[in-house]
Chain A
């Protein structure tokens, strides 16, 4: 199993979620996040004082998938999250030892 984590632009989220649902992914976890990569921040002006805001709002999407699906899911997310402009985000995956569904006690791929 793999844990796929995607940091993407908030307004690309709906597209990514819809594509994952169509693919058959039954659940995901979302958190609001802030960060920057090559994009760096943006500037804001308050009463003439200009501020550079380093951390830009992003969303962090986490999906647990079977090893067989991992490559497809990564490609799906990347395809839907890409705008081609700087700041589109990153996607990565890490191996997962075990997963337990809390309600039933199902283990491993049964718990996905």
Chain B
């Protein structure tokens, strides 16, 4: 690492961005996903985001940061060496700098990335995955899939002898904020997980409508705002690069909403609110890898394409028969692939990345790098996630039983209901509860009328 002087403006922006990216998981993703499930599974869906925040947050401090951003083990570019970063205590030293910001602020920023990458997967498993199985899967997934892949993509080598990941440094695929490491990665894992987990009961026959579209739209809007931390924050400074990424994020997202709604209007006859919310997310996913390598006009082009393609891709699950409940594959895997590969065409040499794509006379040079990066992450994440899911299914079982699924996963897994729509009846305390004794102490109500029905005399 090169030791530059600390810049307070840069540090402030990265810390604020870290908080914005945390907001993307809770509440934004939790609301976006929670509103899209049926009412009987809303709490479980939101809980999967909350628990990811908790588990991955702890892992990140313990050894996750080290595995991701440590010096590459053996110089292979496959995994970081966490020694020296265990518990992060060494980074409290004011001399621990990353560029112009304290390394600790970079740690905070990237913690939020690891959390949302993991939480994104949960949208695919709505209404049917044991909470315990989710906790174990998500923790192991972060360790064996996310930390290595983030190392490949986000860890850059420098002239002090620090060796980073192979995709960033050897393939030199452009991935500004995580089109491969976050979105292709989570999308491919979601596909693998639902193939093992199976479909919800009644999938393809019963309507499984979003139970709260205002929550979905609120969540999507908060994701949009949080994503400025994600993309513009990835500049790791308050500078032109951050501003370009910011404007490209606006342009692509706006265009993707239009792309998605036009497809819906033509195909289904209506422009829907769920389509607008989904278009926002598709556009954000698409511009994530490209925010520093395309022009604002290029971002608009990218946005229209990614919005339209994702709108078409979400129908695939019905034709191919996998129950990717909230379209993690259709939006994040497809959107991530489209964004990452389009860089090979749309990269503008005048942009901060300074690379020319196919449309700017750069030939196929950048395009093949993008394809290799995207495919490598897709295949690795899919295969390892598939093995992980299969093993966990054998060891602990991934799915709640059929009756519990029918009754609603909120009740059976969390003993709660999202909405108290019928507050009649019931009393304090359950069987075996200390409260039950107090609540059921008999009140002196003498029945002064006995049943008169024949045969009822006692």
Produce 1/0 per residue, B322-347, CB < 8 A to A: 00000100100000000000000000
7 additional A-B pairs beyond A46-B210, A47-B278, beta carbons within 8 Å, are: A44-B209, A45-B269, A46-B272, A47-B272, A48-B264, A48-B268, A50-B268
B270-310: which have CB < 8 Å to A? 270, 272, 274-275, 278
Alpha-carbon gap, A95 to B421, bound state (A): 33
- 7 residue pairs, one from A and one from B, having the closest CB atoms: A51-B207, A48-B315, A47-B314, A45-B268, A46-B274, A45-B270, A46-B209
User: Which residues of chain A come closer than 8 Å to B315, judged between CB atoms?
Assistant: 47-49
Alpha-carbon gap, A47 to B268, bound state (A): 9
Q: Residue B364 at the A interface, CB < 8 A?
A: no
Q: Which of A47, A50, A51, A52 is the one whose CB lies under 8 Å from B275? A: A47
Q: Residue A53 at the B interface, CB < 8 A?
A: yes
Q: Which of A44, A48, A49: most chain B Cβ within 10 A? A: A48
Q: Which of B272, B278, B318, B330 is the one whose CB lies under 8 Å from A45? A: B272
Give the residue name and chain of the A residue nearest to B315 (CB).
Answer: A48
- Chain A, interface residues (CB within 8 Å), range: 10 to 19
Alpha-carbon gap, A91 to B268, bound state (A): 37
Give the residue name and chain of the A residue nearest to B330 (CB).
Answer: A47
User: Which residues of chain A come closer than 8 Å to B272, judged between CB atoms?
Assistant: 45-47
Least CB distance, A82 to chain B, in whole angstroms: 30
B209 A48 Cβ-Cβ under 8 A: no
Alpha-carbon gap, A88 to B314, bound state (A): 37
Give the residue name and chain of the A residue nearest to B264 (CB).
Answer: A48
User: Which residues of chain B come closer than 8 Å to A45, judged between CB atoms?
Assistant: 264, 268-270, 272
User: Which residues of chain A come closer than 8 Å to B209, judged between CB atoms?
Assistant: 44, 46, 51
A47 B207 Cβ-Cβ under 8 A: no
Alpha-carbon gap, A5 to B25, bound state (A): 49
Q: Residue B170 at the A interface, CB < 8 A?
A: no
Q: Residue B311 at the A interface, CB < 8 A?
A: yes
Least CB distance, A63 to chain B, in whole angstroms: 23
Interface residues of B (CB under 8 A from A): 207, 209-210, 264, 267-270, 272, 274-275, 278, 311, 314-315, 318, 327, 330
Least CB distance, A73 to chain B, in whole angstroms: 29
12 contacts between A and B (CB under 8 A): A44-B207, A44-B209, A45-B264, A45-B272, A46-B210, A46-B274, A47-B278, A48-B311, A48-B315, A50-B268, A51-B207, A51-B209
Give the residue name and chain of the A residue nearest to B209 (CB).
Answer: A46
Alpha-carbon gap, A34 to B233, bound state (A): 50
Least CB distance, B67 to chain A, in whole angstroms: 36
User: Which residues of chain B come closer than 8 Å to A50, judged between CB atoms?
Assistant: 268
Alpha-carbon gap, A51 to B272, bound state (A): 14
Q: Which of B207, B272, B327: most chain A Cβ within 10 A? A: B207
Alpha-carbon gap, A49 to B207, bound state (A): 9
Q: Which of A47, A48, A50: most chain B Cβ within 10 A? A: A47
User: Which residues of chain B come closer than 8 Å to A48, judged between CB atoms?
Assistant: 264, 267-268, 311, 314-315
Give the residue name and chain of the B residue nearest to A44 (CB).
Answer: B209
User: Which residues of chain B come closer than 8 Å to A49, judged between CB atoms?
Assistant: 315, 318
A45-90: which have CB < 8 Å to B? 45-53
Alpha-carbon gap, A25 to B227, bound state (A): 58
Alpha-carbon gap, A45 to B274, bound state (A): 9
Least CB distance, A100 to chain B, in whole angstroms: 14
Give the residue name and chain of the A residue nearest to B275 (CB).
Answer: A47
User: Which residues of chain B come closer than 8 Å to A47, judged between CB atoms?
Assistant: 272, 274-275, 278, 311, 314-315, 327, 330
User: Which residues of chain B come closer than 8 Å to A46, judged between CB atoms?
Assistant: 209-210, 272, 274
Give the residue name and chain of the B residue nearest to A45 (CB).
Answer: B268
User: Which residues of chain B come closer than 8 Å to A44, judged between CB atoms?
Assistant: 207, 209
User: Which residues of chain A come closer than 8 Å to B264, judged between CB atoms?
Assistant: 45, 48
Give the residue name and chain of the B residue nearest to A48 (CB).
Answer: B315
Alpha-carbon gap, A35 to B318, bound state (A): 28
User: Which residues of chain A come closer than 8 Å to B207, judged between CB atoms?
Assistant: 44, 51-53
Least CB distance, B124 to chain A, in whole angstroms: 14
Alpha-carbon gap, A45 to B315, bound state (A): 12
Alpha-carbon gap, A50 to B315, bound state (A): 11
Least CB distance, B217 to chain A, in whole angstroms: 14
Q: Which of B209, B210, B270, B327: most chain A Cβ within 10 A? A: B209
Give the residue name and chain of the A residue nearest to B270 (CB).
Answer: A45
Alpha-carbon gap, A44 to B318, bound state (A): 16
User: Which residues of chain A come closer than 8 Å to B270, judged between CB atoms?
Assistant: 45
Give the residue name and chain of the A residue nearest to B311 (CB).
Answer: A48
A19-55: which have CB < 8 Å to B? 44-53
